[in-house]
Structure formats: structure tokens, C-alpha cells
A and B are shown apart, each in its own frame.
Chain A
């Protein structure tokens, strides 16, 4: 094939999940020797695309060409290696308790048929490769003792080396360029260290290979990529040359011009002037500083990119014990550093976590056991649990929250996602908590149930004030009286009332500082300490 053949050419890629088009006719071209950014909001289809490239999902339609050769889809498991693809995910896939060298040769050890293995040789090779790419990592250091950025570098180097050794080449043949997919590699890295990673990426593409760089962070994307493709709602909406485009261009592409403004607050304003919860000096591993007040009866949204601290804040308020700061709820003040979940519950708080399967429920216990977990004490009378009372309670709740089927004895895991989530809401709302913390309340929930969950949250505001962290901005726009925007660990301000639109939240989350400050003026003026803290200047706007 000619030299100009793209390394990767995807045409008309479509993937349908249960009637929803996660990808709808997506095109993507990655040329050899470039860093290609892949941008898009949550749910835009980035992950689905990557999972098709790794052979995890089978697409419904679409064509794939690699270095000018047609490749039939779906890919077989492991075939991506033969094609010269390698993936590094956010979690990096390292074993922290093993040494750098051990992690590095993990693949070799797994595949090796030899009876012996030379660790000396492995360390030497690891050191050589580190030197080749100009990075300074001690091969015999345990991975959990090296810096986070070094871990990312290690994972990437391992992926590159894996490509070299796993591809079957004809004798003397030049290896065709390969594609390294980095899926949000920088989310958990300290910002000042990202440069190390970027020089490594530059180093890699200088050899003719390409990098597909998936990220939420516009600054980083603009810094490292040559070309950027944007997905929105499963469509490819454009490919830009990074150098020739502004941050605003990218934001417009990601958010779209034609967004419907969110259904503006079907239920009337419920917010009062009475402050039910105030948070001072909240700090967690991701949150650098956040202080805010929550008004009785409002639905407060927290928004921000992955790693911005918005979601972390929700768990921190519920006594995860790893946070610092102070929380005052209806006059009682607690120190967050030794605040337990039990105390949170006793103070009238409740948390519906995003990870319903692991943190919220026990799939193989009946619905009634799950839903009644919070009220066991109320049904212990005359020395025994009132089982029929508990069952009636479960049945009443299932009816009230429209959980279907209304069968309290069916295992929780047998209910659909939407019904599981409605049951989770019921489990907590039966206590009428003062504060209900929700994280991604409608993740994996179908449209109908989603509406019901919104209605439930809204209809309870006379007793229960809700704080919702969500990456679904449409949801926040529909649901919230105010939305706090987290950027890089700081709560920069709030959008209030009709200002809350999907587009506005998305823009601000991506760090359009001037607008944030504008928004801050409206509401958080009462607390000047946080209002004028902007992130570093965002370059060309």
C-alpha cells in the first residue's frame, strides 16, 4: 500500500445496546506518527469505540482498515495485538506490590515456555528501555513506591514493548506502525507531572507509531495532540487540527450547538433560605478545598470532570473517614476526619452510591432484606422481628416507589437496573433523611425509571434535601436548583436556576474560567474565600 495509508481507518461504525445507539456511523482516521485526541462527554461513545478496537464488543456495522488492509469485524479476542494495537487504561493494570521489572516482564513470564527465567536479564532489559525513552525509574523498586506518573510511564512502556514482542513478523520485515490507545491516562496524575508523560508520548510517535489519546481534559488534549476527533451522542461530529483550533471550538463540538435546554424544573422552586447543611474546608485526595452551604429543600448538583472532586465530595460528606474539614447539619457540627457512616446516618444523612452492585445492595438476598436494612430496629418488638410487618413494609414501599415486579421475596439482583435504583431510593427515603446524597442516581437506568427517580427526589424536598453528583449534565439541568462546579479539585462556584443548562455545566467543567467567575458572582458571594480562586490561566480563548 502507499505510504499515505492511514494507520487506522474506521468507517460507519455502529453499535446498538438494547435499542440505544451507542455508536451511530462513526468514522475515525488516525495517521501514522500522530497523537490523535478522542474527545466526547460521558456516554458519547468513546469507550464503546475503544472496546470494539480491543475486540470486547462486536459492532453491528462498520469497516476497519489497518495500514491500508481491510480487517473483518468483529475482532477476535487478542487479535488487536496482531494488528499492532495496545491499550493502557486508567487503572494501568499494574501489580503494586511487585517490582518495576516484574511488572514489566509480566507478559513475557506468562507466555514463556522456558524452564528458567533470568531476573538479572529482566532488570537489565527494563533499565535499558527506560534509558532508551529517557525515563528514570529504578527497575528493582516496588511499583507502590514509585510516583504515580512513573507508574503511568511504566504501563505505557510495557505496552509498547509488548507490541514489539507479540507481533509475528516475517524475517527482516520492517514492523508496520502500531497504535497505542491511552484511555484517560492522566486523570489521577498530579498536574505538574503530566509533562513527563507527554514527552514520552512524543518520543513514541517520533518512531512512526501513533497514539490515540482519550481524555476529558481539554488543556491536556490541546497540549499533546496533533489532531482531535470529537464524538457526541454516538456520532462523529468533527476532526480538527489541534494547532488550528481554539478551546472554544472544541467545547462547541463536544457540547453541540443544538442542545435542547433541560426541562426547566417541572416542579416549582423548593429551595428555602434556611441552611440545613454547611461544609467548611472540605479536603480529600481529590478535593483541594470546598466550602458551601446547602439550603433546606433544594436539590444541589455537583458537577465536574472525572477526578475533579465532585463525586469524591459526596462520599466524603458521608463519613468515609478520609476527608478533612467540618460539617454542620442542623446545628450539630462534626469533624469530618473522624466522622463515620454510622454517625452520618444518625445525623439524618443517607447515601445512594453509584456502584449499586457493590456498595448499595446484596444481589442474592431478597428485595425485602435489602430494602428493610435501614429499619430493622423498628420491627423488633416483643423479642422478635416482625417478619410480616417487614414484608408489608417492603410491599408498601415497592408499590409507593413503583418497583416492578412488586415481589418482596424475589432476589434483588433479579430486578432491572431502574427498579433496583428505585428500591435503593425507597430504602433510604422511608427514613425521611434530612440529607440524601446521590452519586450517578440514574446510571444504567432506563428513561422511564429515570423520570420516576427525578420525581421522587423532587417530591421529597419538603423533608429531604438532596445533593446529587452526576456526570450526566442533562440530569443536573433537569433536577437541580443549583449546581456547584468542580474544576481540578476546587469548587469554583454555582450555577443557579435558569443558568443551569447542559451546555453551561459542560463548558464550565472544562475550565472556562471567566464564565465560572461570572457565575460565582451570583451565589457564592457570601463566602468570599472561595469565589476568586480560578485555575491557572487557560491560554488562548
Chain B
């Protein structure tokens, strides 16, 4: 029926003078359940496995190891939701994290640079990649998926070139101290970096005009433009911020192992997407949000850890993340569709 649908005329608009019903209590409670289903499910997993495997799962060492070892994933996922909020995909975050790790290791070990100077340099490279991505996406108007897919591959290529496909070891322990060796409440610092960024992004998204503008610009560029927002600048800024955060994640990767190799970081891309989309179904359903992302990461890794404690092999990770991504996107589309359907 394409021909009938395409009519450009605006005649015979259906007028609806019936006032929409105000939200019923039933719907409100459903909203609450929707917002907190994931944290609840997470809690259930924790309780169930603490009962099944008290001697391994429910140990503080296990908890602190889970929290610390997935902090990088939290940060890369956060790096994703910044441009996702303004409506752009950034497939290059994982590659940038890896590249940043390689730069730090290379400059520090092979060139003998001060470790913090190396870190600064890596952050600058993150900035640069975001700048180029933004220029291609915002100024030239190329699809973000394509630009960042290409950028991801280019960055990976440079990474192989710089490292000569070898792992660089022996990074300054000062970094390792600041990342994993030093602890607060028995949990390595790295977890607190993830926590701090979660809070910062939550704050910016939730409590500043910039966050609100990013949301509007991502949902509808025309609305944002007509409201006088600098849509291009917001998108560009988001891409740069995401890329720099990814570079910061690269620093943490180096700190975790005191080394960096040609494939460092690359495996994080899919889990990060899974967490970002799963996170958008919780806390503030329908929006990419920091706490949702944070919880989604730990929900996913808790599930995987639990299954592995039950004897599942490594492959289960891939099944889990892949399924989680698809289910999360399906869920968020369902939420969106239901919300708009309520309208008319």
C-alpha cells in the first residue's frame, strides 16, 4: 500500500479531542518494576549463587576481584553511552583503549618517558581520534557507524605497527600501584575510577543543561536545532569525550598487567555495547544512563562468573554477551514502541 501512504497532502487530519488519560497507579508501579528489574535480577543471581556456592562465590576476594577486573569494561561502556546519547555510534572505543595502552607502554618502556607524561600523551591521542571522528561525522556528515568502524580498524593497524605485533612489558610500577595494587576497603583503586566516572556522567546527564541538550540532540536533531542548540558541537564534544574516556580505560589496562600488546582492549567492544544497551533498559528506561550501564556490566559479569563457577567453559561468555546485546536492544525497542503507542 505504499502508494496510499505516500500522499503528501495533509487533508482530513483526524482530530482527537479526547483527553489522554492520566497515568494510572498500575502503570506507575509497572514503571517502577521496569526501572529496577535489572538490579533486582542481579541481586537474585547474587543471592542464589551465594547459597549454591558459598565457599567460592560469596567470598570477599571474589567480589573484589569481580569489581576490579571489570572496571575497564564499565569505563569503556560509559565511553560508548556518551556519543550514543547524542545519537552517534562509536565503534572505535575499544581500539582507542588498546591503542592508548600501547602508547603508554611503548613511550614508557621503549622510549623511557615518564609514565604520567606517557599517560597524558595517550589521552591526547584519544582526543585526536575523537576530533577526527567528529569532523568526519558532524562536518562531512558521514554515517557514524562507518566512520568509527573504519577508524577502529585504522587504529588497530597503527597499534600493530607500533608494537610490531609484540607485547611490551615492564611498565613503571607507579601506574600499577595507582590502578590495582593500592586498595580502599580491600578493593583496588581501579574500581573507584569506574565509580567516579559513573557518578560524573550520571551528574552531567541528569543534572546539567548540557546533558539534557545532548539527550534532545540525540533524539531529534531538528527539535534541538530549532531550539537554538549547537547540535554539531554537542555531537562532536560527545565523540571527543567518549574517545578520551576510552583512552583513560587504556591507561587502566596497562595498570592491570603492567604490559600492553597488539590485541589489548579489542575484546571489550561487544560486551560494552551489550552493557550500554542493557543499561538503557534500567534505572531510567529508554535512555542511556550511567548507573544503568554500571549495573548492566556487573549483572553480566556476575552471571558469567556464576556460570563458570558451575563449570561452564569460556565459550559461555560469548553466548552470554551476544544474547544480552540482542535481548537488550529488543527490550529497549519494546519500551520505546510501547511508550509511543500509549500516545495515539
Contacts and interface: CB of A to CB of B under 8 A. Distances in A.
Interface of A: 15, 17-18, 20, 22, 42-48, 50-51, 54-56, 77-78, 87, 89-91, 93, 183-184, 318, 341-342, 344-346, 351, 353-354, 358-365, 369, 372-374, 376-377, 379-380, 384-385, 387, 404-405, 407, 409-411, 413-419, 440, 443-449, 471
Given A342-B228, A361-B223, 20 more contacts: A17-B12, A17-B13, A18-B17, A42-B9, A42-B11, A87-B3, A361-B220, A369-B215, A373-B224, A374-B227, A384-B203, A384-B207, A385-B207, A405-B19, A411-B340, A414-B20, A414-B343, A415-B343, A416-B19, A444-B14
Nearest to A377: B209
A50 B230 CA distance: 42
A295 to B, nearest CB: 25
Given A17-B15, A359-B222, A55 B208 contact: no
Nearest to A362: B219
Contacts of B206: 385
B18 interface: yes
B3 to A, nearest CB: 4
A365 B340 CA distance: 9
10 contacts: A45-B11, A51-B7, A54-B4, A56-B5, A91-B8, A345-B227, A359-B223, A365-B215, A373-B223, A376-B209
A43 B220 CA distance: 29
Given A48-B11, A360-B226, A410 B23 contact: yes
Contact of A89 (B3, B10, B14, B219): B3
Interface string B66-97: 00000000000000000000000000000000
Interface string B255-299: 000000000000000000000000000000010000000000000
Contact of A93 (B2, B15, B227, B340): B2
A55, A407, A411 interface centre (most CB from chain B within 10 Å): A411
B314 interface: no
A18 B11 contact: no
Given A93-B3, A411-B343, A443-B10, A318 B219 contact: no
B220 A362 contact: yes
Contact of B339 (A91, A376, A411, A448): A411
A56 B8 CA distance: 14
Contacts of B219: 362, 364-365
Contacts of B212: 369, 372-373, 376, 385
A380 B340 CA distance: 29
Contacts of B13: 17, 417, 443-444
Interface string B215-240: 11001101111111110000000000
A344 B222 contact: no
Interface string B120-139: 00000000000000000000
Contact of B342 (A46, A387, A411): A411
A377 B222 CA distance: 19
Contact of B226 (A351, A363, A407, A446): A351
A345 B16 contact: no
Contacts of A440: 10
B216 A369 contact: yes
A364 B207 CA distance: 20
Contacts of A387: 207
Interface in B19-46: 19-23
A363 B338 CA distance: 12
A55 B340 contact: no
Contacts of A360: 223, 226
A18 B226 contact: no
**B interface, how many residues as a size bin?**
35 or more
B230 A417 contact: no
A418 B220 CA distance: 21
Contact of A417 (B11, B16, B203, B220): B16
A146 B79 CA distance: 45
A114 to B, nearest CB: 23
B207 A55 contact: no
A384 B19 CA distance: 34
B111 interface: no
Contacts, number: 181
A413 B22 contact: no
B140 interface: no
Interface in B307-341: 336, 339-340
Interface of B: 1-23, 203, 206-209, 211-213, 215-216, 219-220, 222-230, 286, 336, 339-340, 342-344
B8 A385 contact: no
**7 closest Cβ pairs, A-B complex:** A345-B228, A56-B4, A413-B343, A376-B209, A444-B13, A446-B17, A54-B4
A346 B19 contact: no
Contacts of A20: 15
Contacts of A342: 225, 228-230
A377 B14 CA distance: 37
Given A44-B11, A184-B9, A353-B226, A418 B1 contact: no
A304 to B, nearest CB: 15
Contacts of A415: 20, 343
B209 A51 contact: no
B222 A346 contact: no
B147 to A, nearest CB: 20
A407 B10 contact: no
B83 to A, nearest CB: 18
Nearest to B22: A405
Given A385-B212, A415-B20, A46 B343 contact: no
A360 B221 CA distance: 10
A387 B205 CA distance: 12
Nearest to A355: B222
Interface centre among B16, B216, B339 (most CB of A within 10 A): B16
Contacts of A443: 10, 13
Interface core residue of B12, B203, B208, B213 (most chain A CB under 10 Å): B12
Tell which of B6, B14, B15 has the most Cβ of chain A within 10 Å.
B15
A318 B226 contact: yes
B17 A91 contact: no
B260 to A, nearest CB: 37
Given A47-B9, A345-B228, A415-B20, A444 B207 contact: no
A499 to B, nearest CB: 27
A471 to B, nearest CB: 8
A91 B343 contact: no
A418 B17 contact: yes
A379 B209 CA distance: 8
A405 B3 contact: no
Given A345-B228, A353-B226, A413-B343, A380 B4 contact: no
A376 B339 CA distance: 24
Given A346-B228, A351-B226, A89 B7 contact: yes
Contacts of B230: 342
Given A46-B11, A47-B12, A385 B209 contact: yes
A48 B12 contact: yes
Contacts of A362: 216, 219-220, 223
A56 B1 contact: yes
A216 B321 CA distance: 57
Contact of A45 (B10, B12, B21, B339): B12
B16 A54 contact: no
A87 B215 contact: no
Contact of B208 (A17, A87, A384, A419): A384
A418 B14 CA distance: 11
